Structure 1
Amino acid sequence: MEESNFAREVQENQARLRAELRTSFDVIVCGSGSSGSVVAGRLAEDPDVNVLLLEAGGDDASPTIIEPGQWPLNLGSCRDWAFEGQPSRHLNGRRLPLNMGRVLGGGSSINVMVWARGHKADWDCFAEESGDPAWGYDSVLNYYRRIEDWQGGADPLRRGAGGPVHIAQPSSPKPLAEATVEAARLMGIPRFGSANGEMMEGPGGAAIAELLIRGGKRQSVFRSYTYPQMHKPNLTVLTGALVTRLIIEGKTAVGVEAVVDGQVLRFDAGLDVILSLGAVHTPKVLMQSGIGPEAELHRHGIPIVQNLPGVGQNHQDHIAFGCTWEYLQPQEVGGGGCEAVLYWKSESRLSVPDILQCQLEFAVPSPPEVGIAAPDHGWSMFAGLAQPKSRGQLRLTGASPTDPILIEPNSLSEPEDMAAAFRTVELCRELGNSSLFTPLVKREAVPLQRDRAGMERFIRNSAVTFWHQSCTAKMGRDAMSVVDAQLRVYGIDNLRIADASIMPKIPVGNTMAPCVVIGERAADLVKASYAGRGSP
C-alpha cells in the first residue's frame, strides 16, 4: 500500500475508534515511549487481542521531530515534560533539567537518535538480579537480532537484519567525527567499526555512532512498531490521555483512570495493565494508586494497597560535563549532530567502561553558573559517567494526580563519581586538543586549564544529564525490588511494568535500545500469560 494511502487509512481508523471509544480492552498500555510502543505494536499483531495505548502527549507530526537536526527545539516545548531536579548541594545548589518525551514515541521522538545496546555486563547483571537467564546477554542478543534492521557490516552473531528498527551509521561522517575516533585510537582507545558489537563485550572503544535515521528522517520506536499496526480495528491509540491512577480490586489491577479531553474516564483491562510511563510517572502512578513505600503513602493519606518500599527509590541517570572547542570556521552538522561516541575506563583495572562520551557537532552552551559563553561556531563533547554510583529518589507532594512529583537525583553525591568525573573531563580535553583537530579547531573554549579546586567547581556547575532517568521500580528479588523477572509488580495481579524504571542499574550508554528489549520481552511475557489462560 502506498504511504499516503496507508496514512489516510490510519487516520480514518483512529478517528473512528476515538469517536466510538470503547471502555473495555484486553490489554491497556500506559505510555507510548520506547518500551510502550513495542508492547502495543507487538500485541496488536494478534487480531484477537484488543489493545489500548494511552499517551498524555500529542502526535508526532511536528517537523522538529521528523527532521533529525531539529531535535533541540523539542526541549522545553509541549513535547517535553521538562522535569527539574530539586536543588542540590552537590551541584552548588543548582537544579538539573530533566527532559522527557511527552509525545507519541516518548524519548525516541525527541532524543539524539543514538542506538546504544548496553554492555554485555549490564545484561548479565539484569539476569543475576532477576534470577532469570532470559535477561542475560546471550538471550538478549536474540532479541536484538529480532529487533534490528542493521545497515552496516554483516555480523550474524551480534546483529539483526530485517527487523522493525532501521539502524545505520552516517554514510559520510563529518571530518570532526572521523578526527574524534582516530584521535581516540592514537590515545590507545581502540577504534571499532560498530559501537554495538564486539566493542561492548570488553573494555570499550570509540566508533562512529549508529542512529535511528532513515531516508534523512527520524525513525522513532513508535513509527517502527506501533504505527504499522494503527490501521487495525484492535489497536486504539489515544493521545491527550493522562493516566492518573490504577483501578485495583483486592490485589488485582482491573483497569486505569485517565483524563481525556478534560474528562475523567475509566478503562477496564480483561488481561493486563502495562505501565510504560517512564522512570518518573510510573512510580508516581504506582504511589498514588496505593502501591509504594508505606511511610510515603501514609504521609499523603493514600490508602495502602501494597507496601513496596522500592517504588521511587534507586533513581539513576547518566551525568555529563560539556567540553567545547571553537571552530576555525563554521562546519556542517551531520544527521542529528551526533556522529561519534566513546566508551572507556577511568581506571586501567576496570574491565567494563565507566566513561561515556557523546560528540555533538555544534557548540552547546554551558549552564550559566560556569560563566563562559559558548562560541558562535564550535563543537561539544559530553564527557559523562556511564556507571554512576550516586542514587536518588522520587517523592510525592500530594495525593492528587495534579500534585507534582519531587525528583532528587542526588547526582555527584558519591566520591567515586567525582573521581570518575575528573578523569572523564581530563580524557575529553586530551582528546579534543589532539593535533588531528588542528585543521578544524581554533581553541578550547570550555573548561580551559584549571587547578583542582577550579575543576571541581566546573564539574559541579556544568553537570547536566543525558536524560536517561531509570531504575525507580527495579526488577529483582530483594526487599527493594518492585517487579519480578516476569515484570509483574509484586503483590498485584495483572499489572506489569515495561520501561526504564525496571532496570536494576543503568546500562552503559543511551537507554533507548535497552528499553526496546524490555518492550519486546514484556510483549512475549504477556502473550505467554494469556495463552496459558486461554485466548482472549
Structure 2
Amino acid sequence: MTPDTHDQYAPESSLNPRGKIGDVFDFIVCGSGSSGSVVAARLAEDGNASVLLLEAGGDDAAETVSNPAQWPLNLGTSRDWGFVGEPASGLNGRRLPLSMGKGLGGGSSINVLVWARGHKDDWDHFAAEAGDDAWGYQSILGYYRRIENWQGAPDPARRGVGGPAYVAQPPAPQPVAEAMLRAASTIGIPVYDSPNGEMMEGPGGASLAELRIRDGKRESVFGSYVRPLLSQPNLTVLTDALVTRLIFNGKRATGVEVLVDGQRRQFTARCETVLSLGAINTPKVLMQSGVGPEDELKAHGIPVVQHLPGVGRNHQDHIAFGCTWAYRKPEAVGGTGCEAKLYWKSDARLSQPDILQCQLEFAVPSPIETGLQTPEHGWTMFNGLAQPKSRGRLRLSGPDLNDAMLIEPNSLSEPEDMAAALVAVELCRELGNSDAFAPLVTCETAPGARDRSGMIDFIRRSAVTYWHQTSTAKMGRDSMSVVDNELKVYGVDGLRIADSSILPRITTGNTMAPCVVIGERAADLIRTSHSLMV
C-alpha cells in the first residue's frame, strides 16, 4: 500500500456521496483515528469485503491539519472532542482539559506527530496479560517492519521500509534540540541515533525525535492508509456520523445506530463491528448500549446486555510538568516543535524508563494556578511520567447521547507518581541549566529552585496532560478485562475493540504508533476469522 502523497488532504466531496450509502455492510469500523483507519483499510484491501468507516468529525482539508506547526490551533475547535476531567485532588482540585482528535485521522490529524513505538517491556507485558505471544515484542517488531517506511539508517531487525507510514527524523534540527542531546550526554544519559530501535530495549536514552512529516506536511494515519483506497467501491467513508449505540440481537452485535445530519440511521454488519472510538467514546458507547458494570447501567435505566465491570476502569494518561527557559534571542521552531526526545529511569532498579521528556521549541504557558510568567521567547521541556501508577475511572452521567462521560483521571493519586515526578523535574532542570544550553538561554523561568515542599506544590499546580488517554477497556484474562487476546469483547459476539482503550497499561511514549499496531493486529485477526486475503 503506497499513499498518494500529492493528495493527502482532500475535501469531503472526495468521499462517498451521503445520499447513496446503503444500510448493510460486511464490516463496520467506528472511528477513523490511528487504529480505525488501519482496520478499515486492511479489510478493504481484499476487494471482496464491503467496509463502512464512520467518523463523527469532519474532513481533514484544513491548513491547521496539513501544516504540522499549526497543531495547537486545532485544540478547542471542532477538530477536538474537548473533554475535561473531573476535579482531581492530586492536582489541588484542578480539572484537566483532555483534548482528543475529532475528524478524519483522529488524533493523528491534530497531534505533535511523534512516532514512539513503546518499550520492549511494554509489549512483553501485554503478551503476558493476554496469554498470547503474538502481542510480545518480537512479534510486534514484525508489525512495525510492515508498517514503516523508515527514512533513517537501516536496521533490518527493527525497522521497516516501503510500508504505508512514512517516518523520518528532522533533516535540520534546531540548535536547542542538538543542545539537549549534548546536555544528556554530559550527565551520563546515552545518546542514540534513533529513539525507536535499541534505545527502547534498555534503560532509555536521548535522541532526535521521529516524526510523521513528509515534504513539510503532516501525514495522518487516515492519509497513509485509507485515502489511497477511496476509489475502491467496497470502501465507504462517512463523516459527521456520530455512533450513538450498538444494536444487538441477543448477545450478538449486529450493527450500529448513527446520527447523520441530525437523523438516526441504522447500519448492519454481516460479519463484525469494530469500535475504534478512543479511550473515552468506546467505553461510552459500550455502556450506553448495555455492556459494562451492571450496577451503573441499571442506575441509569440501561438494559444490561453483558456485565463487564472493567468497562471505563483503569484509565491512564501521561502527565507532564512544563519546565521552561527564556531564549537570549528568538529561535526558529522546527516541524511540530518537538525534535528531541528523552526517556530515563527515576530509579535505577526499574526494568524500563518511567520518565518521558519531549522538548518543545517554544515556551508553553504554565497553568494560571502556578502564578508563573511565560517568556515571550523560550523553550519548554514537556517532562512527565511514562509509566504512571495512578488509575482513573469513567462514569456515565446519563443514558443518552448528549450525557457527557464523567472522566476521573485521578492524576498523581499514588505516592510513587509524585516520587517519580520530583526526580523527573530535577533531571529536567539539570539538563536545561547545563553548559550545553548557555549560548541559547538567559534563565530558567519555571519552576526555578525550590525546596521539596515547593516543588511538590509546583508539580500539583503545573501538571497537564500529553493527551494520551488509554486502557479503559483493557485486554486480559482477569475479571476486569473487557477484551481477550483477539480483541473480542467478552460475552458478546460480532464485536471487537481496536484502539488505545485495550492497552492493559499505557505505553512508554506517545501512543499513535502503538495504536497503528493495534489496528494492524485487529485486521489480521478479523481477516483470518473471515478468510479474507492477508
Matched, 1:404 2:382: no
Once residues 4 and 36 of structure 1 are traced to their aligned partners in structure 2, the CA distance between those partners, rounded to angstroms, is 20
On the 8 A contact 2:31/2:53 being kept in 1, the answer is yes
On the 8 A contact 1:396/1:404 being kept in 2, the answer is yes
**5 Å matches for 1:306-385?**
306-385=306-385
CA deviations on 1:100-146 (whole Å, 9 max, x unpaired) are 00110000000000000000000000100000000000000000000
Query: What's the Cα RMSD here?
Result: 1.6
On the 8 A contact 1:91/1:412 being kept in 2, the answer is yes
- Match in the other structure for 2:239: 239
- Match in the other structure for 1:119: 119
- Match in the other structure for 1:22: 22
- Match in the other structure for 2:303: 303
On the 8 A contact 1:244/1:258 being kept in 2, the answer is yes
Once residues 326 and 14 of structure 2 are traced to their aligned partners in structure 1, the CA distance between those partners, rounded to angstroms, is 51
Shift of 1:2: 12
On the 8 A contact 1:13/1:231 being kept in 2, the answer is no
In the superposition, relative to structure 1, how do residues 347 and 462 fare at CA in structure 2: closer, same or farther (>3 Å)? Answer: same
Shift of 1:463: 0.3
Once residues 109 and 11 of structure 2 are traced to their aligned partners in structure 1, the CA distance between those partners, rounded to angstroms, is 19
Once residues 468 and 66 of structure 2 are traced to their aligned partners in structure 1, the CA distance between those partners, rounded to angstroms, is 21
On the 8 A contact 1:362/1:379 being kept in 2, the answer is yes
- Match in the other structure for 2:442: 442
Once residues 73 and 118 of structure 1 are traced to their aligned partners in structure 2, the CA distance between those partners, rounded to angstroms, is 27
**5 Å matches for 1:212-223?**
212-223=212-223
In the superposition, relative to structure 1, how do residues 469 and 426 fare at CA in structure 2: closer, same or farther (>3 Å)? Answer: same
**5 Å matches for 1:273-312?**
273-312=273-312
In the superposition, relative to structure 1, how do residues 526 and 3 fare at CA in structure 2: closer, same or farther (>3 Å)? Answer: closer
Counterpart code for 2:461: N
CA deviations on 1:320-359 (whole Å, 9 max, x unpaired) are 1000000000000000000000000001112310000000
Counterpart code for 2:76: G
CA deviations on 1:506-528 (whole Å, 9 max, x unpaired) are 01000000000000000001101
On the 8 A contact 1:25/1:269 being kept in 2, the answer is yes
Shift of 1:14: 2.8
In the superposition, relative to structure 1, how do residues 44 and 439 fare at CA in structure 2: closer, same or farther (>3 Å)? Answer: same
**5 Å matches for 1:384-403?**
384-403=384-403
Once residues 106 and 151 of structure 1 are traced to their aligned partners in structure 2, the CA distance between those partners, rounded to angstroms, is 24
Shift of 1:402: 1.0
Once residues 411 and 11 of structure 2 are traced to their aligned partners in structure 1, the CA distance between those partners, rounded to angstroms, is 43
Matched, 1:142 2:142: yes
Once residues 242 and 461 of structure 1 are traced to their aligned partners in structure 2, the CA distance between those partners, rounded to angstroms, is 35
Shift of 1:473: 0.1
Matched, 1:178 2:178: yes
In the superposition, relative to structure 1, how do residues 8 and 455 fare at CA in structure 2: closer, same or farther (>3 Å)? Answer: closer
Counterpart code for 2:306: Q
Shift of 1:10: 9.2
On the 8 A contact 2:9/2:60 being kept in 1, the answer is no
CA deviations on 1:421-465 (whole Å, 9 max, x unpaired) are 000000000000011111100100100111111111100000001
Counterpart code for 1:123: W
CA deviations on 1:258-299 (whole Å, 9 max, x unpaired) are 100000000000000000000000000000000000111011
Secondary structure of the residue aligned to 1:243 is strand
- Match in the other structure for 1:48: 48
Matched, 1:81 2:81: yes
Give the percent of matched residue pairs that are identical in Structure 1 and Structure 2.
Answer: 67
Once residues 9 and 367 of structure 2 are traced to their aligned partners in structure 1, the CA distance between those partners, rounded to angstroms, is 44
Once residues 218 and 519 of structure 2 are traced to their aligned partners in structure 1, the CA distance between those partners, rounded to angstroms, is 20
Shift of 1:419: 0.3
In the superposition, relative to structure 1, how do residues 5 and 95 fare at CA in structure 2: closer, same or farther (>3 Å)? Answer: closer
On the 8 A contact 1:9/1:231 being kept in 2, the answer is no
- Match in the other structure for 1:472: 472
On the 8 A contact 2:8/2:223 being kept in 1, the answer is no
Once residues 71 and 7 of structure 2 are traced to their aligned partners in structure 1, the CA distance between those partners, rounded to angstroms, is 26
Normalising to structure 1: TM-score of the pair?
0.97
Counterpart code for 1:313: R
Normalising to structure 2: TM-score of the pair?
0.98
On the 8 A contact 1:65/1:109 being kept in 2, the answer is yes
Secondary structure of the residue aligned to 1:515 is helix
CA deviations on 1:358-377 (whole Å, 9 max, x unpaired) are 00000000100000121000
Counterpart code for 1:115: W
Shift of 1:44: 0.9
Secondary structure of the residue aligned to 1:346 is coil
Secondary structure of the residue aligned to 2:313 is coil
Once residues 523 and 180 of structure 2 are traced to their aligned partners in structure 1, the CA distance between those partners, rounded to angstroms, is 39
In the superposition, relative to structure 1, how do residues 165 and 90 fare at CA in structure 2: closer, same or farther (>3 Å)? Answer: same
Once residues 9 and 171 of structure 2 are traced to their aligned partners in structure 1, the CA distance between those partners, rounded to angstroms, is 32
CA deviations on 1:367-415 (whole Å, 9 max, x unpaired) are 0000012100000001110000000000000010110110000000000
Secondary structure of the residue aligned to 1:339 is strand
Once residues 6 and 464 of structure 2 are traced to their aligned partners in structure 1, the CA distance between those partners, rounded to angstroms, is 43
Once residues 13 and 81 of structure 1 are traced to their aligned partners in structure 2, the CA distance between those partners, rounded to angstroms, is 24
In the superposition, relative to structure 1, how do residues 523 and 3 fare at CA in structure 2: closer, same or farther (>3 Å)? Answer: closer
Counterpart code for 2:234: N
- Match in the other structure for 1:95: 95
Counterpart code for 2:294: E
In the superposition, relative to structure 1, how do residues 138 and 117 fare at CA in structure 2: closer, same or farther (>3 Å)? Answer: same
Once residues 513 and 2 of structure 1 are traced to their aligned partners in structure 2, the CA distance between those partners, rounded to angstroms, is 17
Shift of 1:19: 2.2
- Match in the other structure for 1:155: 155
Once residues 234 and 5 of structure 1 are traced to their aligned partners in structure 2, the CA distance between those partners, rounded to angstroms, is 23
Shift of 1:232: 1.0
CA deviations on 1:473-497 (whole Å, 9 max, x unpaired) are 0000000000000000000001000
On the 8 A contact 2:3/2:223 being kept in 1, the answer is no
Counterpart code for 1:394: L
Once residues 4 and 436 of structure 2 are traced to their aligned partners in structure 1, the CA distance between those partners, rounded to angstroms, is 45
Once residues 66 and 95 of structure 1 are traced to their aligned partners in structure 2, the CA distance between those partners, rounded to angstroms, is 30
Shift of 1:3: 6.2
Matched, 1:518 2:518: yes
Once residues 426 and 125 of structure 1 are traced to their aligned partners in structure 2, the CA distance between those partners, rounded to angstroms, is 29
Which stretch shifts more, 465-474 or 5-14? 5-14
Secondary structure of the residue aligned to 1:185 is helix
Q: Which runs of 5+ in 2 are unaligned?
A: none
Once residues 6 and 340 of structure 1 are traced to their aligned partners in structure 2, the CA distance between those partners, rounded to angstroms, is 29
On the 8 A contact 1:318/1:385 being kept in 2, the answer is yes
Counterpart code for 2:74: N
In the superposition, relative to structure 1, how do residues 141 and 501 fare at CA in structure 2: closer, same or farther (>3 Å)? Answer: same
On the 8 A contact 1:115/1:210 being kept in 2, the answer is yes
Secondary structure of the residue aligned to 2:108 is helix
On the 8 A contact 1:363/1:378 being kept in 2, the answer is yes
- Match in the other structure for 1:201: 201
On the 8 A contact 2:11/2:59 being kept in 1, the answer is no
On the 8 A contact 2:3/2:164 being kept in 1, the answer is no
- Match in the other structure for 2:503: 503
